[in-house]
């Protein structure tokens, strides 16, 4: 039998080798093979509680968006929502693609920046939608970073009790993280993301070419989350991010695909955020606190980078991880230009206070997700002595 198979394989070798995509799968689990194929193709099907949708990662695909939406049987008016940085760069290409595919398409430009992630901006969107005559069949397309996605997604989730939306993430953070999972919302003066809803998009289309115009500091900050995805679930992704910025640019396509795959994996494993999805919080318990204590002078990804090193050190001290892990992580992050130490001018008291009020505090406990090794994380670990955060290497 084996002989027969080998000779068959030999005869068909040239034919098989002519395929652009080949996978060697030694697992008997069909799900694992399907997962590998999705990851290599950059095409995922995501099943979420508030709806199923596809995630497509494809270079030079913004001008194909219209055809892709037509294929998904979306009809009615399309409104592109973009911020004042992204709009001038990409809204025309997208609108042209929508018009060419036969849609009625218009664009709304929002003021850029987290400070505009407010109810006032959402309300302005609702009124614009009304003025444009949108109805329940219309579709909103969020073209931008996480701020645009959260705002446009929330406006879509509430307008006329919910209309369709599509995410076209343009920042690395939006690609790796915020565009998937269906979370939408805005900030209140008391804190970030305090009002929101779950409303799954109909499609997420990520074009890594759009990252070429992303300011470098934003790109680096987004890499913080990408490295985190590597540490919690994909050692190859971590390795791809460990050899500095040039290597990251060379492998950007694969990095985006792998980072998005990790987020999808956790969304599907835990749609209601009751358990394992907490793995995505690695680096965030300390990260959020440091971000807050810095008065948001540190970018989110920078604060998370510091948080990942500190939390890996805690994992070592608790013997959850072997010694050396925090150094390995710090080395990779420093190679990207991300900070790896809590700035000495930040108040320890403010950091401790922020950790205690962190939303992941449950029943009076401060819970951590800590790495076991690169590619594996453990969730719901209670840290009784919060001062361990300040132990130096
Ligand atoms: N919904 C979720 O699940 C989720 C998850 C994580 C974060 N978030 C939210 O995401 C937001 C952060 O996202 P972000 O970092 O993308 O912020 P952002 O949307 O403000 O984008 C960062 C900056 O980059 C600019 N920009 C984006 N793409 C660009 C491009 N291709 N070329 C040039 N400039 C570009 C933007 O105009 C902005 O100035 C926060 O509000 C956070 O709360 C949401």
Q: What is the pLDDT of residues 168-203, one digit of tens each?
A: 999 999 999 999 999 999 999 988 899 999 999 999
Predicted confidence at residue 282, as pLDDT, reads 97
Q: Which amino acid residue places its CA nearest to atom 3 of ligand 1? A: 178
Q: How close is the Cα of 211 to the center of ligand 1, in Å?
A: 12
Q: What is the pLDDT along the chain (393 residues), one digit of tens a residue?
A: 889 999 998 999 888 888 877 877 776 677 778 888 888 899 999 988 778 999 999 999 999 999 999 998 888 899 999 999 999 999 999 999 999 999 999 999 999 999 999 999 999 999 999 999 999 999 999 999 999 999 999 999 999 999 999 999 999 999 999 999 999 999 999 888 999 999 999 999 999 999 999 999 999 999 999 999 999 999 999 999 999 999 999 999 999 999 999 999 999 888 777 889 999 999 999 999 999 999 999 999 999 999 999 999 999 999 999 999 999 999 999 999 999 999 999 999 999 999 887 655 567 788 999 999 999 999 999 998 999 999 887
- Please choose from 55, 60, 85, 88 the residue to mutate so as to test ligand 1's pocket, defined by most ligand atoms within 8 A of CB: 85
Distance 81 CA to ligand 1 centre (A): 13
Which pLDDT belongs to residue 359?
56
pLDDT at 361: 59
Residue-wise pLDDT tens digits, 295-310? 999 999 999 999 999 9
Note the pLDDT of residue 384. 87
Query: Which residue, by CA, sits nearest to atom 16 of ligand 1?
Result: 145
218 C-beta closer than 6 A to ligand 1: yes
For residue 138, which of 68, 38, 69 has the smallest C-alpha distance? 69
Q: Does 283 contact ligand 1 (Cβ within 6 A)? A: no
Q: Is the CB of 209 under 6 A from ligand 1?
A: no
Residue 91 phi/psi, 5-degree rounding, is: -65, -35
Query: CA angle 237-241-243, nearest 5°?
Result: 130
Question: Quick check: 343 and 254 in contact, CB under 8 A?
Answer: no
Which atom of ligand 1 lies nearest, measured to the CA of 192? Answer: 43
Say what the pLDDT of residue 29 is. 76
Report the relative pairing of strands 367-373 and 78-83 from DSSP bridges. unpaired
Name which residue sits closest to atom 19 of ligand 1, judged by CA: 145
Please name the residue whose Cα sits nearest to atom 22 of ligand 1.
145
DSSP three-state, residue 258: helix
Reference 266, options 241, 304, 233, 224; nearest CA is: 233
Which residue among 80, 94, 146 has the greatest number of ligand 1 atoms within 8 angstroms of its CB, and so is best to mutate? 146
The alpha carbon of 147 and the centre of ligand 1 are apart by a number of angstroms equal to: 5
Shortest-distance atom of ligand 1 to CA 174: 16
Q: What is the pLDDT of residues 21-38, one digit of tens each?
A: 787 777 667 777 888 888
Strands in 111-237 per DSSP E: 139-144, 164-169, 183-188, 191-198, 203-206
Determine the Cα–Cα distance for residues 141 and 85; give it in Å rounded to an integer. Answer: 16
Q: Which atom of ligand 1 is nearest to the CA of 147?
A: 19
Identify which of 180, 312, 199, 150 has the alpha carbon closest to the alpha carbon of residue 256. Answer: 180
Whether residue 196 contacts residue 223, with contact meaning beta carbons closer than 8 Å, is answered with no
């Amino acid at each position: 039998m084996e002989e027969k198979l080998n000779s068959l394989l030999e005869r068909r070798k040239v034919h098989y080798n002519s395929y652009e995509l080949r996978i060697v799968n030694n697992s008997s689990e069909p799900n694992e093979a399907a997962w590998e194929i999705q990851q290599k193709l950059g095409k995922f099907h995501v099943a979420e509680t508030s709806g199923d949708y596809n995630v497509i990662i494809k270079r030079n695909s913004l001008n194909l968006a219209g055809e892709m939406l037509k294929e998904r049987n979306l009809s009615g008016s399309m409104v592109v929502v973009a911020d004042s940085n992204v709009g001038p760069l990409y809204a025309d290409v997208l609108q042209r693609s929508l018009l060419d595919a036969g849609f009625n398409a218009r664009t709304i430009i929002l003021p850029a920046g987290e400070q505009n992630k407010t109810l006032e901006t959402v309300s302005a969107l609702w009124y614009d939608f009304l003025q444009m005559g949108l109805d329940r069949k219309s579709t909103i397309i969020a073209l931008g970073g996480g701020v645009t996605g959260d705002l446009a997604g929330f406006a879509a989730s509430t307008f006329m009790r919910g209309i369709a939306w599509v995410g076209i993430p343009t920042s690395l953070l939006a690609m790796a993280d915020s565009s998937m999972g269906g979370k939408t919302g805005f900030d209140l003066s008391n804190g970030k993301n305090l009002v929101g809803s779950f409303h799954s998009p109909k499609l997420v289309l990520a074009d890594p070419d759009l990252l070429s115009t992303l300011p470098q500091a934003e790109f680096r900050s987004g890499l913080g989350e990408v490295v985190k995805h590597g540490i919690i679930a994909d050692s190859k992704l971590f390795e791809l991010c460990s050899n500095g910025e040039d290597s990251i640019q060379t492998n950007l396509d694969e990095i985006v695909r792998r980072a998005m795959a990790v987020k999808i994996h956790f969304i599907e494993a835990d749609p209601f955020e009751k358990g394992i999805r907490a793995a995505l919080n690695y680096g965030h318990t300390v990260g959020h606190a440091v971000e807050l204590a810095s008065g948001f002078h540190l970018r989110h990804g920078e604060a998370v980078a510091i948080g990942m090193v500190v939390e890996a050190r805690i994992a070592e001290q608790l013997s959850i991880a072997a010694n050396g892990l925090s150094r390995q992580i710090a080395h990779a992050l420093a190679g990207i230009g991300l900070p790896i130490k809590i700035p000495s001018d930040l108040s320890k008291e403010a950091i401790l206070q922020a950790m205690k009020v962190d939303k992941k505090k449950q029943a009076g406990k401060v819970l951590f997700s800590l790495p076991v090794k690169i590619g594996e994380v453990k969730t719901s670990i209670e840290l009784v002595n919060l001062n361990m955060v300040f132990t130096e290497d």
